[in-house]
Structures are given as C-alpha cells and as structure tokens.
Amino acid sequence: MSPQLLAGKRGVIFGALDNQSIAWQVAEVCAEMGATFTLTNAPVALRFGSLNELAEKLNAEVIPADATSLEDLQHLFTRSEEVLGGKIDFVLHAIGMSLNVRKGKEYTDLKHDWMLKTFDISAVSFHKMCQVLYNGNHMADWGSILGLTYIAAQRTFPDYSEMAESKALLESFARSFGYHFGEKNNVRVNTVSQSPTMTTAGKGVKGFDEFFGYADNMSPLGNAPARACGEYCATLFSDLTRYVTMQNLFHDGGFSNMGMNPKALK
C-alpha cells in the first residue's frame, strides 16, 4: 500500500491522454497516496484519448480546458475548487506539442507561425496557468506547482527542434513565478526534467527509439520510467518538500551528469 503522503491534498492535473502519458501515471500515484483532483486536457485531445476511463477509475471529474485560453483556465480552477471543496494544493502542467516536429520539418526550415503556436501551447500556457492561479488566489498556502520539461532546454538534441526553446522558456517562467508565489503565500514552483519516456508524444520525435536506448545506456540507473516520475512528482506535491522552489530537478537516472558511459559505445 502506498504511503498517504498526499492525504487531504487537492490538485489539478493537466495533460493525461492515455496510459502511456506521464500525467496519467502521476494521477494514479497521487490517488494511491490519498489526493483528490480534477483532470483536464484540451477538448480536441479528449476526443482522441481515454481520459474519461482514467477519471472513472480514480473517481475524478474531467474539466475540458484549452490551456492557451485565460477564460478556460479561469473556469477550470474555479470549477475545480467547487468540485474539490477548497483551494488547490498542487498542479501538474504536462503539456507539449509541436506541429513542426509532427510534420517532420527540419530545424533550419521551420514554419515560424507553427513555432509560435508551439511556444504558446508548450510554454506560454504555463505562464497563463500560473497567472490565473496567482490572480485568482486559487492556490492554498504552501502549495506546489510543477511543469514537466526535458534536458534539451540546456543541451542540443537536433531532432527535438523548437521544443527545446519551449522547455527553456517553461523553466524560466517557473523560476520567475516561483519568486512571486513564494512571496505571496509560500507556494513553490518547480520543473521536473524527465528521462526520455515512451509516451505517445515522445514516440513522435524522429529517431526516438534509438535515442531512448542511447540515454538508457548512458544513465547509470537507466531511464526513469513514467511511474517513477509520478512517484517523484508526488513527493514534490507533499509537505516533505516545502522548501524546494524555483528549481529544475533532473529525474533521469543520472544522464544529466554523465560525460560518457562505456556501455554507450558498445
């Protein structure tokens, strides 16, 4: 039985699509650890995913919201407070999409209107989310906000394309809002930089299977699976990490600190 680290905690989880999603795993772990929460994704994503199946399993309400819409976000958090019976203790932002990547556009020949859409969905949505939470006083004191990111924000992975800049922007937003939320009511804001993970979105990146194997060989502990990421996120939602804020936290089996692993040469 999982420890009840999150007993009595109320949350909102963005981005679960199917059982391969990291957000799906986070939701399952949080439920096992005693939390209650609402689930959300864009209306178009709800038509293609299986979020309602997760909601039924965990007894959670699904509230559709376009994370790029301030109006949708305001409704989401107001409704979540009503459903959950109080202010929000934790929020997970697990959102990312690039049309350029989906369409196979090379980094040196991107469509810039698509790039701006990537930034809006994958990064600016995090700022909008935090802004609505902040101005609407939706977060409980000592709450926790997390965004999922990737090491391409710091290092060059050519096939990750402009998603790398999106993640860098996301991490910057988290640091900046971490200051404002901390000063306001001790809410912490962090990002978790996860290993390559076999999600629906991840597998859409060119050469992902090969890179997954490379990262697994480079990492002393191997790639961190989605379930383990869910468990790590749960600790960051708990009261045990109250003084961790404005950090980009690597959850990658040691990959981020490796230079070379002989296994990767075999």
Domain 10-264 matching CATH 3.40.50.720: the answer reads yes
Q: Which residues contact 83 (CB under 8 A, 6 or more apart)?
A: 38, 61, 63
Q: List, as one string, the DSSP characters of 220-251.
A: TT-PPPHHHHHHHHHHHHSGGGTT--S-EEEE
| Phi, psi of 218, deg, nearest 5 | -75, -30
- Residues 232 and 197: their CA atoms lie apart, in Å, by 15
- Residues 62 and 82: their CA atoms lie apart, in Å, by 13
pLDDT of the residue at 203: 57
User: Catalytic: which of 107, 160, 179, 232?
Assistant: 160
Structure tokens at 212: 């997954």
Encode pLDDT of 147-157 as tens digits. Answer: 999 999 999 98
Query: Is 49 a residue whose pLDDT tops 90?
Result: no
Domain boundaries of the chain, sorted by first residue: 10-264
State mean pLDDT over 83-94: 98
State mean pLDDT over 232-253: 98
Query: Is 211 a residue whose pLDDT tops 90?
Result: no
Q: Which band of pLDDT confidence, cut at 50, 70 and 90, is reported for residue 243?
A: very high
User: Catalytic: which of 107, 134, 150, 243?
Assistant: 150
DSSP SS3 for 34: coil
- Is residue 160 part of the annotated active site? The answer reads yes
pLDDT of the residue at 208: 73
Encode pLDDT of 108-152 as tens digits. Answer: 999 999 999 999 999 999 999 999 999 999 999 999 999 999 999
Q: How much of the chain exceeds pLDDT 90, in percent? A: 83
Q: Which band of pLDDT confidence, cut at 50, 70 and 90, is reported for residue 200?
A: low
Q: How much of the chain exceeds pLDDT 70, in percent? A: 96
- Is residue 134 part of the annotated active site? The answer reads no
Percentages helix, strand, coil for the chain, rounded to the nearest 5?
50, 15, 35
Q: Model pTM greater than 0.75?
A: yes
Q: Which residues contact 159 (CB under 8 A, 6 or more apart)?
A: 101, 205, 206, 207, 208, 211
Query: Is 251 a residue whose pLDDT tops 90?
Result: yes
